[in-house]
Amino acid sequence: MEKVLGFMKKEAVLCVALLLALLSSCIVPPDWGYGEYIDVRTLAILFCLMCVMAGLQKIGVFEWIARGLLGKVKSARSLVLVLMLLSFFSNTLSFVRVGAFAVSHAAMMEVVLMLAGFEGGSGNWIVIILGNVFVCAMEGLIVGIQVLRLQYYELFSRYYKGTGREFVPYEMKKAN
């Protein structure tokens, strides 16, 4: 019994996943249609990726990279600089999704121009003006959602400790 409890403590995520899978199979009885839900191509790609990562780890590529990185730095300050620059460049690449905003802007404006009848020459200027207002509002909404996501999930999660102290906003006292 102690071995089972030790395994459950060590592999808590696996045990919870198995428990939830059994529970869901009791709620919705399994049938042959479940086989169609499994995307074998994606699972094969993930398995191959795990094999490549395990192989790279086994031959010591990650350790070699870490030693090379640590060998080039002379102090803790330079290590922090290297790690911050690495984070900076990887986050910069992550923001390629901003290019998707430009593509969505072009697509929405193309729709507005088609609705206004400008693909054949002259068109309706009122539709252009209202379409521009609509596109600006939609882009403002998209950017607002992106900003909230960045603040709440990426920025605030770095500093939030959850210690239970009440938030007291800063107030400036008026000078007499």
**pLDDT tens string for the chain (176 positions)?**
888 888 888 888 888 888 888 887 777 676 777 667 677 888 888 889 889 988 998 999 888 887 887 788 888 888 888 888 877 877 776 676 777 777 888 888 888 888 888 776 677 888 889 989 999 998 888 888 888 877 777 777 777 667 777 778 778 777 76
* pLDDT for residue 94: 66
Q: Please give the Cα distance from 174 to 176 (Å, whole number).
A: 6
* pLDDT for residue 134: 92
| Own/partner pairs, 88-93, CB within 8 angstroms, 24+ separation | none
* pLDDT for residue 58: 92
Angle between helices 12-27 and 2-10 (to 10 degrees): 90
* Residue 10 tokens, joined: 């060590």
What global pTM score does this model have? Answer: 0.38
Distance of CA 144 to the CA centre of its chain: 16
Any idea where the domains of the chain sit in the sequence? 1-36, 95-159
* pLDDT for residue 52: 92
* pLDDT for residue 34: 67
Q: Please give the Cα distance from 67 to 165 (Å, whole number).
A: 41
* pLDDT for residue 176: 66
* pLDDT for residue 15: 86
* pLDDT for residue 88: 82
* pLDDT for residue 70: 77
Q: Please give the Cα distance from 137 to 141 (Å, whole number).
A: 6
- In whole angstroms, how far apart are CA 159 and each of 61, 71, 155, 163, 166? 33, 30, 7, 11, 15
